């Protein structure tokens, strides 16, 4: 405690975010406000330590607010400041901080005007959106009706914002971030990201553990996602002269260690990376799918502008389709089976010719739950890439349920295109 | 407190969910586990009252866990049981509950086998995934490596699950829900679900508001999702003799009101419903996609056993592919354009013939962000279904970004197959 009862902020600003609403706590809607705010705060070096969600219940909410004001330097509440009876946030704040709710005439006037502009008169219940706990600083809402507010209490900051994501987001960027930055207690933060596929999390962790650089004060996170594992490092410290060289050294070392397993060092999806590589080389792609059932084509076409390089996709689920559309020889299907390296290669070749494309990609395998055998179990997948100069095929043994096998096979297929393009680069 | 220090569960089970991970608390990823679990728990009549997120920090996590065990009857923790040093959940649980971590040989053996199947030997750090606090009940993980566990402490239940969504989701459905239901403290709850597509949320809400049945004590939720809106009603009350007749009356009325907009009254996806209809009628399906780029085929093949009715999918992104693979006449592409009702119908016809199938489905349109014009704006989509006796085409004007337009067009396409099959039924 400071001389006059004010807690000095610590070198890092500790933040708690509280999201309020029955629709959130019951799982009816996905809470996106928390992530948006946390990401923005992390980017300016604040430490988001707690996130709490509660329903529209005064008792639970009071408890959550009291706890947050005790343990955090700044608290951001979203939700519960609308006009309906279930919107209780301003009342709870008023009670917990023992500050009376006062009517703000300017805000009331502005709300009335918003209705007037739409040719309506303001319903009585909207008046409460002009009520604020005594001593509040009004935070303008440029998108919706209800302004937010900021209360400074014992050196701590309490922000209250609307729950509607687009409103909360604008207010965070325009009002909350500048006020937190002005609190002047944020650390310099550098960040590294390595998006990898095809390498187990534990192997990445062993690589990181073998680094000679000192990683005290560096947060290392392994983020598994559907297509691989992201390695994320946050470097913190007051002095850029120390942090920046450390970051560069670690970056260089990890680049070498991860090699081709890393497909991006920015927030970019594998299919975007493959698309950019195709555009850069002026190449076109055709895709033949069996086990992945259209998922690879769906990923490729999820990227804006995919029509510049993607021409044709064929999901050949039946053997007839493999023969008639992709021209896979019947004898191969009979002798090797549809799930085989040979058929994968023929599918890639066939779709490449059909689509008049530079690169042909194919997948075949068993996604389950049925259809497996001792010799060819569920999870057995072959992927193949054929281009003018290359002909690559790969056998995979994937774990997981049907959905996961399909996703993992799709990622591996895209990655084989990436690696084929990279190796052709090496040749020329 | 009960006679022997056991807290009796209240009539409603109060639940807290704790999601753990630096990637969550820093906003790097969107936490979807909470919503999934909350939704499932709400459906069995449990009261989710708190959601807390913390990072991979032992101190913060201990606090959160202690608090949750004090105020909730059941606590569900997800995340932090992976193999890397930042995975601290099992350690924190062990400390907070003063239960030593013991190695489970069966689990260790199973993990080693998973690596062996992939031709790898288990890295040393994975051994810790076989450590469990003394007295834990192991919860099988059918999808990934790390099993979860359940601890019963003073009449309270503590579930610990992995953070990977697909793993946590399967475990919640197969292990957590049955164990919570067995705790025997849930209120009698009847539930109605109407999964709809193609009808606005506000129109559904007007239907519900027009019901004559008394809905006091009934929770009505509108749950918009990517493909439409779910209407969910929860009937609560101790006496089944009152609740059940009310539920039946409401069910009958809403069935009439929603009609064909409702594609399922159970947790079934649209593509599953369409698949079942095809199987029941002994029909096969071929799909030609342009704007949806393989997404419809991907949805159809996400259903186990889709190979019984799905034969061929063609993603014809270029005009050449539309002509050569789907045999769309060049003159039609020149005169009407690739995005037209006529081309959609020809694509459906062409893929039906190519795939030797009973039903042909096609999509063409402009997903954006580029490629729109005044005459044919972004969001303009045509879908067509051709069968032996029917030939339906529909024009859609969809809102949203590229990803949303693709998803909405895919849902509408599947729904057109469903409605075509339904109307053929009416004819015969």
Residue ranges making up the domain that contains A295? 270-427
**Interface check A423 vs B, CB under 8 A:** no
**Interface check B301 vs A, CB under 8 A:** yes
Please judge whether A27 and B36 are an interchain contact, meaning their C-beta atoms are less than 8 angstroms apart.
Answer: yes
According to DSSP, the residues that pair with B313 across neighbouring strands are A315, B287
Residue A296 belongs to some domain of the structure: yes
Average pLDDT, chain B: 90
Nearest chain A CA: its distance from B154 CA (Å): 23
Structure tokens at B260: 């064909």
Please judge whether B27 and A50 are an interchain contact, meaning their C-beta atoms are less than 8 angstroms apart.
Answer: no
Of the residues B123, B149, B182, the one at which a domain ends? B182
Residue B145 belongs to some domain of the structure: yes
Q: Which pLDDT band holds residue B238 (cuts at 50, 70, 90)?
A: low
**Interface check B235 vs A, CB under 8 A:** no
Closest Cβ opposite residue A223 in set B23, B118, B296: B23
Q: Which pLDDT band holds residue B188 (cuts at 50, 70, 90)?
A: low
**Interface check B121 vs A, CB under 8 A:** no
pLDDT at B409 (0 to 100): 96
Residue B56 has a CB neighbour count (10 Å cut-off) of 24
* Same domain, yes or no: A139 and A242: no
Helix and strand numbers (H, E) in chain B are 15, 17
* Same domain, yes or no: A168 and A21: yes
Q: Is the pLDDT of residue A187 over 80?
A: no
* Same domain, yes or no: A167 and A192: no
Tens of pLDDT, residues A394-407? 999 998 889 989 99
Q: Which pLDDT band holds residue A8 (cuts at 50, 70, 90)?
A: very low
Q: Which pLDDT band holds residue B184 (cuts at 50, 70, 90)?
A: low
Residue B323 belongs to some domain of the structure: yes
Q: Which pLDDT band holds residue A186 (cuts at 50, 70, 90)?
A: low
Tens of pLDDT, residues A340-363? 999 999 999 999 999 999 999 999
The 3-state secondary structure of chain A, one letter per residue: CCCCCCCCCCCCCEEEEEEECHHHHCCCCCCCHHHHHHHHHHHCCCEEEEEEEECCCHHHHHHHHHHHHHHCCEEEEECCCCCCCCCCHHHHHHHHCCCCEEECHHHHHHHHHHHHHCCCCCCHHHHHHHEEECCCEEECCCCCCCCEEEEEECCEEEEEECCCHHHHHHHHHHHHHHHHHHCCCCCEEEEEEEEECCCCHHHHHHHHHCCCCCCCCEEEEEEEECCEEEEEEEEEECCHHHHHHHHHHHHHHHHHHHHHHEEECCCCCHHHHHHHHHHHHCCCEEEEECCCCCHHHHHHHCCCCHHHCEEEEEEECCHHHHHHCCCCCHHHHHHHCCCCHHHHHHHHHHHHHHCCCCEEEEEEECCCCCCCCCCCCCCEEEEEEECCCCEEEEEEECCCCHHHHHHHHHHHHHHHHHHHHHHHHHHC
Residue B360 CA: distances (Å) to CA of A254, B292, B332: 50, 15, 19
**Interface check B42 vs A, CB under 8 A:** yes
Please judge whether A294 and B317 are an interchain contact, meaning their C-beta atoms are less than 8 angstroms apart.
Answer: no
More confident residue, B205 or B390: B390
For A116-130, A190-204, A256-270, B98-112, which range has the lowest pLDDT when averaged over its residues? A116-130
Task: Provide the ipTM.
Answer: 0.77
pLDDT at A3 (0 to 100): 32
pLDDT at B76 (0 to 100): 98
More confident residue, A43 or B391: B391
Nearest chain B CA: its distance from A288 CA (Å): 9
State the average pLDDT over residues B306-312.
97
Closest Cβ opposite residue A315 in set B42, B84, B313: B313
**Which CATH number do you get for residue A109?**
3.40.980.10
pLDDT at A4 (0 to 100): 34
Please judge whether A400 and B166 are an interchain contact, meaning their C-beta atoms are less than 8 angstroms apart.
Answer: yes
Question: With pLDDT > 70 as the criterion, what percentage of chain A qualifies?
Answer: 95
Residue A294 belongs to some domain of the structure: yes
pLDDT at A264 (0 to 100): 96
* Same domain, yes or no: B277 and B335: yes
Tens of pLDDT, residues A34-90? 999 998 887 777 889 999 999 989 999 999 999 999 999 999 999 999 877 778 999
More confident residue, B346 or B124: B346
State the average pLDDT over residues A159-170.
90
DSSP B130: G
Q: Is the pLDDT of residue A10 over 60?
A: no
**Which CATH number do you get for residue B353?**
3.90.950.20
Tens of pLDDT, residues A287-313? 999 999 999 999 999 999 999 999 999
Residue B38 CA: distances (Å) to CA of A23, A383, B32, B57, B235: 10, 39, 10, 24, 17
State the average pLDDT over residues A255-272.
95
Please judge whether B317 and A325 are an interchain contact, meaning their C-beta atoms are less than 8 angstroms apart.
Answer: no
Tens of pLDDT, residues B194-211? 999 988 777 888 888 888
Closest Cβ opposite residue B294 in set A222, A232, A294: A294
What are the backbone angles phi and psi of residue A365, rounded to the nearest 5°? Answer: 170, -170
pLDDT at A13 (0 to 100): 85
Tens of pLDDT, residues A373-387? 999 999 999 999 999
Of the residues B117, B152, B182, the one at which a domain ends? B182
Q: Which pLDDT band holds residue B1 (cuts at 50, 70, 90)?
A: very low
**Which CATH number do you get for residue A231?**
3.30.70.2860
Please judge whether B221 and A296 are an interchain contact, meaning their C-beta atoms are less than 8 angstroms apart.
Answer: no
**Interface check A319 vs B, CB under 8 A:** no
Domains identified in chain A, total number: 3
Pairs of residues, one from chain A and one from chain B, whose beta carbons lie less than 8 Å apart: 291
State the average pLDDT over residues B358-366.
98
Q: Decide: helix, strand or coil at residue B128.
A: helix
Q: Which residues 332-361 of chain B have a CB within 8 Å of chain A? A: 354-356
């Amino acid at each position: 405690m400071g001389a006059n009862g004010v807690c000095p902020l610590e070198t890092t600003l500790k933040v708690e975010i509280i999201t309020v609403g029955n629709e959130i706590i019951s799982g009816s809607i996905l809470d996106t406000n928390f992530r948006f705010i946390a990401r923005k705060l992390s980017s300016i070096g604040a430490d988001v330590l707690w996130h709490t969600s509660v329903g529209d219940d005064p008792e639970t909410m009071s408890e959550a607010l009291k706890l947050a004001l005790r343990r955090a330097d700044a608290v951001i509440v979203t939700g519960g400041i609308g006009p309906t009876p279930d919107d209780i946030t301003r009342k709870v704040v008023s009670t917990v901080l023992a500050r009376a709710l006062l009517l703000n005439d300017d805000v009331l006037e502005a709300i009335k005007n918003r209705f007037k502009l739409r040719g309506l008169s303001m319903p009585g219940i909207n008046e409460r959106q002009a009520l604020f706990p005594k001593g509040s600083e009004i935070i303008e809402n440029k998108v919706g009706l209800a302004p937010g507010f900021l209360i400074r209490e014992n050196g701590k900051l309490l922000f209250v914002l609307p729950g509607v994501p687009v409103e909360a987001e604008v207010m965070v960027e325009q009002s909350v971030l500048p006020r937190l930055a002005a609190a002047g207690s944020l650390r310099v933060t550098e960040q590294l990201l390595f998006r990898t596929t095809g390498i187990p999390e534990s192997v990445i962790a062993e690589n990181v553990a073998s680094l000679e650089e000192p990683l005290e004060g560096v947060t290392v996170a392994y983020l598994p996602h559907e297509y691989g594992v992201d390695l994320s490092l946050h470097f913190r410290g007051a002095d850029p002269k120390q942090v920046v060289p450390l970051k560069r050294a670690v970056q260089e070392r990890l680049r070498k260690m991860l090699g081709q397993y890393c497909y991006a060092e920015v927030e970019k999806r594998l299919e975007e990376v493959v698309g950019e590589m195709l555009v850069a080389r002026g190449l076109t792609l055709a895709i033949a799918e069996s086990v992945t059932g259209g998922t690879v084509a769906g990923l490729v076409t999820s990227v804006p502008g995919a029509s510049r390089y993607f021409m044709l996709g064929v999901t050949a689920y039946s053997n007839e389709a493999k023969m008639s559309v992709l021209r896979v020889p019947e004898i191969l299907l009979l002798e090797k089976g549809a799930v085989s390296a040979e058929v994968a290669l023929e599918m890639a070749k066939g779709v490449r010719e059909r689509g008049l494309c530079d690169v042909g990609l194919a997948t075949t395998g068993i996604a389950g739950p049925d259809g497996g055998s001792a010799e060819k179990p569920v999870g057995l997948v072959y992927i193949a890439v054929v281009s003018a100069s290359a002909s690559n095929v790969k056998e995979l043994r994937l774990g997981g349920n049907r959905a996961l096998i399909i996703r993992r096979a799709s990622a591996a297929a895209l990655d084989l295109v990436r690696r084929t393009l990279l190796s052709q680069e090496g040749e020329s």
